Chain A
Amino acid sequence: AQSVAQPEDQVNVAEGNPLTVKCTYSVSGNPYLFWYVQYPNRGLQFLLKYITGDNLVKGSYGFEAEFNKSQTSFHLKKPSALVSDSALYFCAVKGGGSYIPTFGRGTSLIVHP
């Protein structure tokens, strides 16, 4: 079985400050990890993925994520938050040959001006 935990329902950060949205996972075998963003009244949009290789993955809109195998984590980060980054963020995992991703419950990111 595979699972994802996003321990924070909401993250608040001031514009210009760094942000982190947390994700931990459980999966058999090597994980394929993804981050998606959802803006109001829109579908989820792919941000970045980790498959193998460098533990720091760079994605769209200046976001990056760090894969940590020992802590089974894949936290999303951005050095300087923008108000326009305010949205719902989902972490997802696939593993063990599964073609069906498991999504976390999502974290609402609010960036204050």
Chain B
Amino acid sequence: DAGVIQSPRHEVTEMGQEVTLRCKPISGHNSLFWYRQTMMRGLELLIYFNNNVPIDDSGMPEDRFSAKMPNASFSTLKIQPSEPRDSAVYFCASSLRGSSDSPLHFGNGTRLTVT
């Protein structure tokens, strides 16, 4: 089990540029979550997919953020245009939705810095 794989690990970009974060969930997991972590706000849920379908995107900050899950093994989170306040660590997590007692498995995150 390779775990949840995120890329890149670090991303530094200038304000106004497009940023794409990538995630490969654990094989067989049918739920996928994107979180953002900052010192000020802690861990925030951005979006939740089940069986590749977005179920809850109420945490997506604004229209500059978008997420897709074209298949069961890949998801992207895109920010366009990026702003300095988007600087944070972005985590992807996956789990089995079959039972509510399934824990989340997190990737090691992408540290985004927007200058």
Total A-B residue contacts, Cβ distance less than 8 Å: 51
Contact A97 B100 (CB under 8 A): yes
From B42, B100, B106, B109, give the contact of A105 (CB < 8 A).
B42
From B4, B48, B111, give the contact of A100 (CB < 8 A).
B48
Contact A43 B100 (CB under 8 A): no
B52 within 8 A of A: no
Interface residues on A, range: 20 to 34
Q: Give CA–CA (A105, B41) in the complex, Å.
A: 8
How close is A5's CB to chain B, nearest CB, in angstroms?
Answer: 12
Interface residues on B, range: 20 to 34
Q: Which A85-113 residues have a C-beta within 8 angstroms of B?
A: 90, 94, 97-101, 103, 105-106
If A94-B100, A103-B42, A103-B43 touch, does A41 touch B48 (CB 8 Å cutoff)? no
Q: Give CA–CA (A36, B97) in the complex, Å.
A: 18
Contact A99 B107 (CB under 8 A): no
Most buried by A among B45, B104, B111: B104
Contact A43 B108 (CB under 8 A): yes
Contact B104 A90 (CB under 8 A): no
Across the interface, name the chain B residue whose C-beta is closest to A94: B100
If A32-B101, A100-B56 touch, does A45 touch B106 (CB 8 Å cutoff)? yes
Q: Give CA–CA (A33, B103) in the complex, Å.
A: 9
Contact A43 B91 (CB under 8 A): yes
Contact A51 B42 (CB under 8 A): no
A22 within 8 A of B: no
Contacts from B to A (Cβ < 8 Å): 4, 31, 33, 42-43, 45, 48, 50, 56, 91, 93, 97, 100-101, 103-109, 111
